[in-house]
Amino acid sequence: MRLLIALPLALTLVAGCGDKDTSDDSSADDSGTEVDPCPGDVDADNDGSCDAVDCDPTDAYTYPGANEIPYDGKDNDCAGDGDLTDVDGDGHDGERAGGDDCNDGNPTVYPGATEICYDGIDQDCGGNEDTNDCDGDGFDGRGENAQDCDDNDPEIYPGQVEIWYNGVDNDCSGYNDSDYDADGDGDDHEDYEEGTDCDDTDPLTAGGNPERWDGEDRNCDGVVDNLDIGDGVSAWFGDRGNQDGFLGTGLALLDDYDGDGMRSVAAGGWGSTDSTFDGVVYVVDPADEGASFINAATFTLTGGEGTYFGMTVANAGDLDGDGYDELLAGGPLVNNSGGVRLYMGSLIAAGGSTGAGSGVTLMTGNNYVGFDSAGVGDVDGDGVDDLAVGTGWWATPHVVVYSGADALDGGTLSPVSALSQIDGPNGTGGQTVGRLDYDGDGLKDILVGAATDASGNIALVPGPDASSGELVSTGDLDRIRGSTGQRLGLTNGWMDDIDGNGYPEILVRAYGADGAATLGGEVMVIDSSLLLDGDQTASNVASFVVQGTVSNGHLKTPERTGDHDGDGVEDLLVMAVGDRELVNVAVLDGDTGTRATAWVHFSDEVIAGGTVLSDESDVEIRSENDDDLMGFTSAVGDVDGNGKADVVFGTPNASATAGGAWVLLSFLDE
């Protein structure tokens, strides 16, 4: 059986040889006679190709038409092209033939071929089956050191110059979902899709951002410096649960007690402890995040029962020269008939909480002093700043000026030991303001409001009179007089010689003037050099007038102005507070629907003179809520040390009459 099976297989193999007859070179014609395929010649290697045409008659695998055998050193098909050394036809000889093609069976693999990343094949015969830097830009696209966000493009890698708005993240920064957020603030440029960013080069500018007082339109609403007090750096609120009441009625900008670069703020609230009206004063640091006063306070003074402590708060200056500002704080029922205490800056810097009685000195007077207090500068020329306490608008004008040196000695001071006592003959008083030298004699002078229940006037108290040891009547002093119903002197202020003539400018508030709206009020700027010749009517000598545009706004200014834009000249801040400013203290809260607003008129406008409307301003600052009385108190000064004057606003009627205070920083021209 094996033989029978093997025989057909052998026959099949012989038949399969085709034209490669290995037995002999003969063939048969039709008659059966064998015919020699190479007559006159031979086929020595029996490859079916006569030696005459066989390029290698000794090799049965070499003849015309034979299949090429790569890398055997022979021209197997006798085509005259030599050995087959580039099997895949990619133009590169295989390595077995001494060439540089690392895979001669794949036409896509050869030196210089485009590398296909991450496929496990070394397309360019570089020696690595794969590379983590596919595009050869020097940054891996995968692996432990992967940084390249597009490893197929050598123009995309970390550190590359970003070409914005081309749809490509060239520098692999990765912070933009699209390529239309050049400043990385999360808001696309307003020209693209859903973007609302009107300045895509500045991350502080984007649609819906809070405004910033810097001369730029930060929220992309089309209006520059259209601010809310909520855009400020810090805010503190009273807490009705803590029985806070009317915090911000007293307000002062103090020193940087902890060296963090931010000046502290003192806020007084006479209504604290509800029905007993003990009052409280908190000192807070704007560097800390806004919070309730009680949680944010670095220093706290608590008043005695029923004293209305915190009704007045003022910066007394650094009386003892230790580098810390002292604090004045008081109330109309402190010591029964009113008083103001001096608290040393070192006590405040130490922090903590203490009672109102910890003041080094109690300064008293008549008719409920403690509605008003002021650091008035050195009126007697002894080198120590002096102090004033008064009744403010509560009663007939009554101001007592005390020696700062005496106050440092401690104890209780009464009018009999004062530098002077300034009283008005009739009507109600107003704010006392000092630290200005309006007559140029080198001593600090004082402004005292008088007759503020009618036309009103501002008495000019020269330093020699303020330190005379005498009883001084406002009726005997030179005055700035108001017109019928203006109520001059309720609050007063001054600017530091903005026109360069050597004399400060006095800020006169006409509380009861109509201005550009009913009871909108007016603010007048008067060069004090015009007051050296005696009484003057305010409207006759005012060089610049701002008319209030808010009905019942009663336009006013802070006690001191400041240089908000850093040009070296002070600017004018005016505020429309509302109609609840001068009511009985027991019912300060109320609802009149007035949203307090402040505006800034820059120095060049004020110096140019004329009459303007309050809202004709490049800067507008609005309160958070109706009737919060933003600007009832305010303090202007450089809070953060950047050389620009900032503003602190009191809002004593905010948070359901618990009160509040806000700090708004100026970044103009930065």
β-strands 471-473, 420-423 pairing: parallel
How far is Cα of residue 639 from the mean position of the Cα atoms in its chain? 15
CA 265, CA 245: separation in Å to the nearest integer? 17
φ/ψ bin of 41: left (φ > 0), alpha (ψ from -120 to 50), beta (otherwise)? beta
Neighbours of 108 (CB within 10 A): 12
Q: Consecutive 10-residue runs of the chain (670 residues): their mean pLDDT?
A: 31 34 47 61 82 84 86 84 83 88 90 82 81 85 87 91 84 72 79 81 86 89 89 86 85 97 96 83 90 92 94 98 98 92 98 97 94 97 98 91 98 97 89 96 95 91 97 94 93 96 97 92 96 93 97 93 97 86 39 80 98 96 90 96 96 88 90
3 state DSSP class of 405: helix
**Predicted local distance difference test score (pLDDT) of residue 593:** 63
The pLDDT score that the predictor gives to residue 36 is: 60
**What b-and-e string marks burial along 574-612, b requiring 16 or more CB atoms within 10 Å of the CB?**
bbbbbbbbbeebeebbeeeebbbbbbbbbbebbeeeeeb
Please say whether the beta carbons of 432 and 388 come within 8 A: yes
Nearest to 480 by CA among 454, 500, 450, 503: 450
**Joined tokens for residue 556:** 């006013």
pLDDT of residue 30: 57
Q: How much is the pLDDT for 527?
A: 97
Total-model pTM = 0.77
Position 112 scores a pLDDT of: 87
In the chain, the domains with their CATH numbers are: 1-84 (no CATH), 243-359 (no CATH), 478-670 (2.130.10.130)
Query: Exposed e or buried b for every residue in 528-561, given b needs 16+ CB within 10 A?
Result: bbbbeeeebebbebbbbbbbbbbbbbbbbbbbbb
- pLDDT, position 520: 93
